[in-house]
Structure 1
Amino acid sequence: MDPAATAALYASYVLKDGDSFLVANGFGDVEEGSTGFFRDDTRLLSMFRLRLGETQPALLSAAVTDDNVVFLAHMTNRQLPPLGEVTAASHGLLHLLRARFLHEERMHERITLMNYGTHAIIAPLRIEVDADFRDMFEVRGQVRAARGRLLDQEELKGPRGVIFKYRGLDDVVRTSAIAFSQPATKVDGRVFEFLLHLVPGVEQTLFVECGNEAGAMPSRERHREAAAQARKRMRARGRRGGRVRSDAPLFDRWMQQSRADLSLLTSELETGPYPYAGIPWFSTPFGRDAVVTALQTLWLDPTIACGVLGFLAAHQAQEESSFLDSAPGKIMHETRRGEMSALRELPFGRYYGGVDTTPLFVMLAGAYARRTGDLAFVDRLWPALLSATAWIERVCDNNADGFLDYARGESTGLSNQGWKDSEDSVFHADGRFPKGPIALVEVQGYAFAAFRAMAELAELRRDDDSMRAWAGRAARLQAAVESKFWMEDQGFYGIAVDGDGALCAVRSSNPGHLLFCGLPSAERAAKVAEQLMTPAFHTGWGLRTLAQGQARYNPMSYHNGSIWPHDTGLCAAGIARYGHREAAERVFTSAFQAAVHFDMRLPELFCGFKRVQGAPPIAYPVACMPQAWAAGAPFMLLQSCLGLEIDGLRGEIQVDRPRLPEGIDEVRLHDVALGGDRVDLLFRRVDTRVGMFVEGRGSDVPAVRLRS
């Protein structure tokens, strides 16, 4: 196989709609590994392979359109043998185009062939299909003791397709229907062959649909109508919130790709828009990921935060369960709909094993109120916020130092329940794993910010007693963190305190989140910021999750030395919060340069090797792309450089010493919401400074507080 074909086989192209997504290789085929068409964490299509005769076509190009709606694979034929008296097709005479999209949980595909030769040709188009109904966790490698059984398949009349059936151990019959717009010439098991008579210059088209039920037969009209609706819905999602434009085309491509990826991953739920975490492994509602994504984009698009808060409040835990790691008031970590979760083979049907999601939820509510001034929505959330805060208080009160800690309820749950949730991500300086319960340093920052948020909201509600109580809790927690986590000899915070009260004296990126929350003193924040910018952390592409030289450091690991764009963005926002705008600009520039090498789509994570002149960043082999909080990171990085805060409560815009990255002299923000108005903000480099100009689109230009 030639190198281009090999690369195409291992490339992944993804589409998503609602609770369905599809992963295929560059040829558009589904045939091995984690590829497939999935709905509700079940693989409905495990084989969808196209051939001309026995031969795989030669790939010319493969891409997903800029709006993330349509996958396109342009191919041509290799040498085809003659069929009967019809002339054989030499290499490169046929053009084959696969155009595919998802709409209303169904896959739609148009396969078009054109003969550019001088003689008529019969093209034997073969399509092999199958459905294994594997649970997502099986596809990820989980071994089950037993699984359900495949039932007899049903042929669609014509023969125009097939319906696969599977009865799970939960006694639910799941079906997958593949239908074609015309009858097959021949059917051999699960292989459908269509002998297409290709007259020179005349297009032949086959339409294909796949879903969990048969529905109407595919046709040109159905395909066109569904495609128009799919594009319309994606455009509507992409128009929400403000938009970023600049005088640098490459930077604009990054912003547009990130925006398109967020639109792709965002599902419209009853409670509003909700960004699913990532494809392929996490195309489902996650709590932590969605809250962070909402924080990253809050300044441009508050509607995401509103949808996330509404959904998480509606799914807040009401009962104690060690299996689900749930307790009243706790906010959901993850939800799944597959067979294994339904049977409780795993706890992830609705799982609460994230210690940080609950304080992050409260943090987001406070940030949303400040950004929008929408206190009516906060009033509706108030019971959920009280319940969430009560859970934080109970856990802190049970810890000798007053920290928010975690210990999983059962062995089926996650052993580490912060954002670095792999088994080896928390350890002592000598590499030993700590005894639980474990209090992570960044989680204390989230809890501190949550108490501060509740104090601010209580003040707005004229509840002075509660305001003082929560402000006092925040101050006590702040003092405890400064006392227990600070390593004076290293000028840095340790990653965690274990169940014996011993500090895990490890330098990680986690304290960057502490800066984001505003907990450290200015003096200590400066020391942390300075170290995060040293080569131990800063690779030239982003910030490592673990400092080089620490125990268990491995730049190819998941959490112990890799680069996570969302983590880098939070650290940069924390650095900028304490006024170190130049350092934030350096981090922004490195992330932008990394994005260029990843075709403007930052992955979930990549390897933490030092940047080498002339060489690209090193990909992590099984990273999700796109990933919501990786797509949101560029917006948080830009906000950190601009020093921009939008205060909806006061109706004003605050800008603190804005900077523009090198090579960008002008950034314009269009349609930024402030109260009931929309404004345009223009940042322009003027000599050595950056100025800001405001254009009102409503009744008045808002108040501006500018520190340059």
Structure 2
Amino acid sequence: MEYRVIKENDLFLTTNPNGDIPHNNPTGLGLFTKDTRYLSRMEFRINGKQPVLLTSQADENFLMTFLLTNVPGDASEKLPLWRESIELKRTRFIYDGVLYESATFTNYYPKELEFEFSSQFDADFNDMFIVRGFLGGKVGVKRQPAYETGKLTLNYESADEVARETRIQWDSSETKYEECGIVHFLIKLAPRDSKTICFFIVPFHNGVGAIPLPIDEARHLLEQSYVSWNKQTTQLSSDSPILSRLYYQGVQDMRVLLTDLGFGTFPVAGLPWYAVPFGRDSLIAALQMLAVNPQVARGTLLTMAHYQATKIEEWRDEQPGKIMHEIRYGELANTNQIPFTPYFGSVDATPLFLLLLAEYFDWTEDILLVEQLMPQLEKALDWIDIYGDEDKDSFVEYHLKSSKGIANQGWKDSADSIVHEDGSYAKAPIALVEVQGYVYQAKTKLAPILRLLGKTILADKLELEAALMKESFESAFWMEDHKFYAIALDENKKQVRSITSNPGHALMSGLMDPARAVHVAKRLVAKDMFSGYGIRTMSDQSAGYNPMSYHDGSVWPHDNSMCLLGLSSNGFHEEANQVIEGLMKSVAGFEHYRLPELFCGYSADHGMPVPYPVACSPQAWAAGTPLVFMQVMLGIKPDAINKSIFLNPSLPKGVNELTIDNLYVAQGRLSLTIKRQSNGTLTIDISANSTGYRIESGQSTAAVYS
């Protein structure tokens, strides 16, 4: 799917490489907010003909530029043009609920030219689920556009009684209008002269919409917001241009994906299909961001806490204390034709909420947020014990109850993702291996924090439950013949014995037997699991393997990042470096050094990585993966209770010097440089430390000095 995309807060636009939204396009291009397409057509023409694309650029995520030229005219035209005589430069950005688009025409013909520029707009106001072709349903009726001088309004009478309209303004009065939404501009240009027409496109929801600013002012404010963002995030520089660019792109992509629903900024899942709050995706992306900007985790936690479930409702797979999976705001959700208001069909979002809160405390020492979220924390723990573990076997399982919900409720949520070694699909209730790791890690990490707050009884309870889980886990999940852990237990507590990446997530939890963790680390980078570009979701020796599939053999950067955190925390530096090197190698096949949501699992021996056809890009937890590289290379573990920072760095091939500035820990900043010496040892130079924490180092470093 080839497209260009920009986003700011809750408004995003996808177009073809020319910058247009073609009529009846099959790929779901458009201007979207609140899960509704507010612009389904936007086409620019010169003398009625589509301009030819010269180039389109999106080097800065918030600003997009398209350079086009005219096709040759013919004798039948009233105002024929010589070919390539007009340059059309389209520049667009989004700020504070307004899409700003400027069209600048420059005459490169040696004589004066007169031509017609036309722009055609339409909006179908389709729900995102309809745009994607997933569902139909009872919907409203589109009304005739309303035109007045300098302004066009597209209207919709909706089924959910929400008033939706798109208001389009422009700053040129030399126009005429056709009933089908076409606005015509007559343009005269002397040689080398230019003329710019600016468009201001604003979605209105129940009569509420933004007021456009002057375009230069809006652009300046947007650029300043990015300057502020970059000042607030940890900076990385390296002697590896690929690493430096990957990290920079990840930080910028994460900024694009931030949204604020009133509780602080958090990352939506990805563009174009998932520009909404997702429990699992947003929580993992925030976890990846902890070393870069922990305030993203704060906003994510507060947002998820606000939407925490309060009752039992099977339609939404809701149970008290559960953290949501996904929320939608469109017509189908508002009329209860789909259960996403929000929908709670996720088994891992609740333990990930607890895990992120515990990790956030270690990075920030923000005990006040833990206290503020104590009611939600206790309800989430209750959900794990009461509803997550209904059969009381110490493991958390999922079971679909909604008639329109998601059958598989872990991160591998496609219907064919939990597959036995004989090729049959596992039936729920299903206990996923990584979920047990999340639960164990959350409970063991929260216990000492709760003791700080005087919650001794609850802390003791969590440690006892974690110990019981650890006791049961090995016999239930370990496959002695494979020297690996099963992906899951099925409805009969039978192991689902496919070899997958899922146990890699559990590595970071401390749940695994240390001797067996060695086998897991080595298998993750063995030939059947490691493509050369990254860890596959499934071994190429397993029955369900398919390199073109969504979850059964593809490579997901975020999946690799979770494995990396586990490899690093257990001291498996060689394996972690191999994974980083593979992912860094893969970016040569992707635009802007941007890791996509996923790519196919073909071996690197086949050449460049093979794209997955409908992968989101940018996508939050893919953008967060290079940020995890930094954390893993440092081998950093902050400890808020003991006021210490542990460093155990390891650098992959091609990286011999790594400088980190303004890394947030506690209420201060840490800046340091890691260097590989000629004898292979690593040194740490601490250039700034205002954290108040003592620095400890692992055996891989020769010295720590300031």
- Report the TM-score range of the alignment, normalised by the length of the smaller protein: over 0.9
After superposition, what is the alpha-carbon deviation per residue over 1:113-167, rounded to whole angstroms, capped at 9, x for unaligned? Answer: 0001111111221211110001000011123243211123211x22x23211111
My pick for the range that moved more, 377-386 or 429-438, is 429-438
> In structure 2, what residue type is equivalent to 1:660?
L
Report the counterpart of residue 188 of structure 2 in structure 1.
Answer: 197
1:471 and 2:463 matched: yes
After superposition, what is the alpha-carbon deviation per residue over 1:510-562, rounded to whole angstroms, capped at 9, x for unaligned? Answer: 00011022211111111111111111110001111111121221111111111
Instruction: Call closer, same or farther: CA 1:386–1:675 in 2, change over 3 Å.
Output: same
Q: Distance in 1 between matches of 2:273 and 2:689?
A: 42
Instruction: Call closer, same or farther: CA 1:310–1:143 in 2, change over 3 Å.
Output: closer
1:360 and 2:352 matched: yes
**TM-score relative to the length of structure 1:** 0.94
Secondary structure of 2:605's aligned partner: coil
1:627 and 2:616 matched: no
1:70 and 2:69 matched: no
1:522 and 2:524 matched: no
Q: Distance in 1 between matches of 2:651 and 2:588?
A: 18
Identify the match of residue 673 of structure 2 among 679, 682, 698. 682
Instruction: Call closer, same or farther: CA 1:301–1:145 in 2, change over 3 Å.
Output: closer
Report the counterpart of residue 182 of structure 1 in structure 2.
Answer: 172
1:507 and 2:499 matched: yes
Identify the match of residue 285 of structure 1 among 264, 277, 281. 277
1:60 and 2:60 matched: no
Deviation at 1:396, TM superposition (A): 5.1
Report the counterpart of residue 569 of structure 1 in structure 2.
Answer: 561
Structure 1: unaligned runs, 5 residues or longer: 1-9
Q: Distance in 2 between matches of 1:143 and 1:499?
A: 30
1:385 and 2:367 matched: no
After superposition, what is the alpha-carbon deviation per residue over 1:454-486, rounded to whole angstroms, capped at 9, x for unaligned? Answer: 312222223333222111100111121111111
1:326-345 → structure 2 map (5 Å cutoff): 326-345=318-337
After superposition, what is the alpha-carbon deviation per residue over 1:31-89, rounded to whole angstroms, capped at 9, x for unaligned? Answer: 112110001110000000111123221211101132x1111001112213479996x43
Report the counterpart of residue 10 of structure 2 in structure 1.
Answer: 19
Q: Is the 8 A contact 2:431 2:488 kept in 1?
A: yes
My pick for the range that moved more, 229-238 or 132-141, is 229-238
Secondary structure of 2:624's aligned partner: helix
Deviation at 1:400, TM superposition (A): 4.8
Q: Is the 8 A contact 1:651 1:674 kept in 2?
A: no
> In structure 1, what residue type is equivalent to 2:594?
R
Secondary structure of 1:73's aligned partner: strand
Q: Is the 8 A contact 2:421 2:544 kept in 1?
A: no
Identify the match of residue 447 of structure 1 among 439, 445, 449. 439
Q: Distance in 1 between matches of 2:191 and 2:77?
A: 18
Secondary structure of 1:253's aligned partner: helix
Report the counterpart of residue 704 of structure 2 in structure 1.
Answer: none
Report the counterpart of residue 7 of structure 1 in structure 2.
Answer: none
Identify the match of residue 634 of structure 2 among 636, 642, 649. 642
Instruction: Call closer, same or farther: CA 1:217–1:197 in 2, change over 3 Å.
Output: farther
Q: Is the 8 A contact 1:279 1:624 kept in 2?
A: yes
Secondary structure of 1:351's aligned partner: coil
Q: Distance in 1 between matches of 2:622 and 2:484?
A: 26
1:137-536 → structure 2 map (5 Å cutoff): 137-155=129-147, 157-158=148-149, 160-183=150-173, 185-188=175-178, 189-213=180-204, 222-395=214-387, 397-536=389-528
Q: Is the 8 A contact 1:684 1:690 kept in 2?
A: yes
> In structure 2, what residue type is equivalent to 1:223?
I
> In structure 1, what residue type is equivalent to 2:44?
L
My pick for the range that moved more, 51-60 or 124-133, is 51-60
Secondary structure of 2:145's aligned partner: strand
Report the counterpart of residue 3 of structure 1 in structure 2.
Answer: none
Q: Is the 8 A contact 1:395 1:403 kept in 2?
A: no
1:594 and 2:575 matched: no
Q: Distance in 2 between matches of 1:691 and 1:460?
A: 35
Q: Is the 8 A contact 1:359 1:388 kept in 2?
A: yes
Instruction: Call closer, same or farther: CA 1:181–1:256 in 2, change over 3 Å.
Output: same
> In structure 1, what residue type is equivalent to 2:28?
S
Deviation at 1:203, TM superposition (A): 0.9
Q: Distance in 2 between matches of 1:583 and 1:357?
A: 28
Q: Distance in 2 between matches of 1:120 and 1:551?
A: 69
Q: Distance in 2 between matches of 1:686 and 1:650?
A: 31
Q: Distance in 1 between matches of 2:76 and 2:238?
A: 57
Deviation at 1:217, TM superposition (A): 12
Q: Distance in 2 between matches of 1:94 and 1:373?
A: 59
> In structure 2, what residue type is equivalent to 1:206?
I
Identify the match of residue 606 of structure 1 among 599, 606, 618. 599
Instruction: Call closer, same or farther: CA 1:216–1:526 in 2, change over 3 Å.
Output: closer
Q: Distance in 1 between matches of 2:688 and 2:255?
A: 27
Secondary structure of 2:316's aligned partner: coil
Q: Distance in 2 between matches of 1:174 and 1:286?
A: 24
Q: Distance in 2 between matches of 1:453 and 1:493?
A: 23
Q: Distance in 1 between matches of 2:344 and 2:583?
A: 32
My pick for the range that moved more, 503-512 or 694-703, is 694-703
Q: Distance in 1 between matches of 2:121 and 2:614?
A: 25
Instruction: Call closer, same or farther: CA 1:573–1:703 in 2, change over 3 Å.
Output: closer
Q: Distance in 2 between matches of 1:653 and 1:497?
A: 37
After superposition, what is the alpha-carbon deviation per residue over 1:211-251, rounded to whole angstroms, capped at 9, x for unaligned? Answer: 124999999x7111111112122322232231111122232
Secondary structure of 1:277's aligned partner: coil
Instruction: Call closer, same or farther: CA 1:184–1:216 in 2, change over 3 Å.
Output: farther
Deviation at 1:11, TM superposition (A): 2.5
Deviation at 1:651, TM superposition (A): 3.1
Identify the match of residue 126 of structure 1 among 118, 126, 132. 118
Secondary structure of 2:315's aligned partner: coil
After superposition, what is the alpha-carbon deviation per residue over 1:621-649, rounded to whole angstroms, capped at 9, x for unaligned? Answer: 10000000000011113322321122333
My pick for the range that moved more, 243-252 or 679-688, is 243-252
Instruction: Call closer, same or farther: CA 1:225–1:121 in 2, change over 3 Å.
Output: same
Identity of aligned residues (%): 34
1:42 and 2:33 matched: no
My pick for the range that moved more, 183-192 or 582-591, is 183-192
Q: Distance in 2 between matches of 1:464 and 1:225?
A: 55
After superposition, what is the alpha-carbon deviation per residue over 1:466-507, rounded to whole angstroms, capped at 9, x for unaligned? Answer: 222111100111121111111111111111111122111111
Instruction: Call closer, same or farther: CA 1:637–1:674 in 2, change over 3 Å.
Output: closer
Q: Distance in 1 between matches of 2:289 and 2:210?
A: 41
Q: Distance in 1 between matches of 2:190 and 2:341?
A: 54
Instruction: Call closer, same or farther: CA 1:673–1:638 in 2, change over 3 Å.
Output: closer
Deviation at 1:650, TM superposition (A): 3.1
> In structure 1, what residue type is equivalent to 2:433?
V
> In structure 2, what residue type is equivalent to 1:72?
T
Secondary structure of 1:335's aligned partner: coil
Structure 2: unaligned runs, 5 residues or longer: 701-706
Instruction: Call closer, same or farther: CA 1:667–1:265 in 2, change over 3 Å.
Output: same
Q: Is the 8 A contact 1:372 1:647 kept in 2?
A: no
> In structure 2, what residue type is equivalent to 1:79?
P
Instruction: Call closer, same or farther: CA 1:111–1:330 in 2, change over 3 Å.
Output: same
**TM-score relative to the length of structure 2:** 0.95
Q: Distance in 2 between matches of 1:452 and 1:215?
A: 46
Deviation at 1:700, TM superposition (A): 6.2
> In structure 2, what residue type is equivalent to 1:672?
L
Q: Distance in 1 between matches of 2:77 and 2:62?
A: 41
